[in-house]
Amino acid sequence: MEAGASGWFGPAGPRVLAHRGLAVDAPENTMLAFARAVAAGADYVETDVHATRDDVAVVCHDDDLRRVAGRPVRVRDLTLAELSLVRLPDDQEVPTLEQALDAFPETRFNIDVKVAEAVDPTVRAIRRVGAQSRVLLTSFDQRIRRRVVDALPGVATSASSPGVVGVMAASLVPVTAVRHALLRRVLRGCGAVQVPESWGRLRVVTAARVADLAAVGVETHVWTVNDPAVMRRLLALGVHGIVTDRADLALVEVGRGAADPL
């Protein structure tokens, strides 16, 4: 696995990635949701970052606050001071990435850098906390992913959209050695592929693809899976990670959680 000096991938999985924390009864991507995930036993939190007008990396999936706070204002148009005045349910606020990393020092974070403006603020936050060894940085946009990974040599990363397309194309090659060589090329530097189980009618996650990726040192993580029956089926295929809104349920399926969900 080409994760450089990163400790993000140890110990061995299967891994449960708490998607935006555990937001069953807490607002997503908040300190409360992260605390609930950690309390449930999650070692990994998946989250997203945007940047404020004064270039601070903040934890938020959408580029505006309409869905989470009922306010049609873009995160990028607010300073951190202005954003801190916006109240989310349960009296939560949009945390900075630095706050989240600092508050949960034993937790590994899977960070989706949503926009180019968030690259430098994200790098600064990670460096200030000294969290390089416990973050995985990714983005659907290959240019964003490369910028943030280049700024933090050795940091863990997962494939962007072009890499996933390359995985799908490589699976059509019948000769195993050639197929694996292609996978190594398109996934150079990546320790994981993070994908949905299917795209429309196209099945993305198959036992053969999972095995091929494992053979070249790359994990398969599947999002966003909330049904325990589906979790069990995917784990039986050999996937290494489940990205889920229900980390409490997923932890039971991998044998590391309490018997009763929250």
Active site residue 61: yes
96 secondary structure, DSSP code? B
Contact 156, 4 (CB under 8 A): yes
- Residue 148's contacts (CB-CB under 8 Å, 6 or more residues apart) are 113, 119, 122, 123, 137, 139, 155
End-to-end distance of the chain based on CA atoms, in angstroms? 34
Contact 83, 113 (CB under 8 A): no
Of residues 19, 50, 221, 240, which has the active-site annotation? 19
Q: Quote the CA–CA distance of 197 and 176 in Å, as a whole number.
A: 23
Determine the Cα angle at 123 with ends 119 and 129, to 5°: 150
Active site residue 221: no
Q: Which residues pair with 119 in a beta bridge?
A: none
Q: Judging by DSSP bridges, how do beta strands 202-203 and 198-199 pair with one another?
A: antiparallel
Q: Quote the CA–CA distance of 150 and 24 in Å, as a whole number.
A: 36
Q: Quote the CA–CA distance of 238 and 220 in Å, as a whole number.
A: 8
- Residue 115, classed as helix, strand or coil, is coil
Token representation of residue 35:
């605390």
Q: Which residues are catalytic?
A: 19, 61
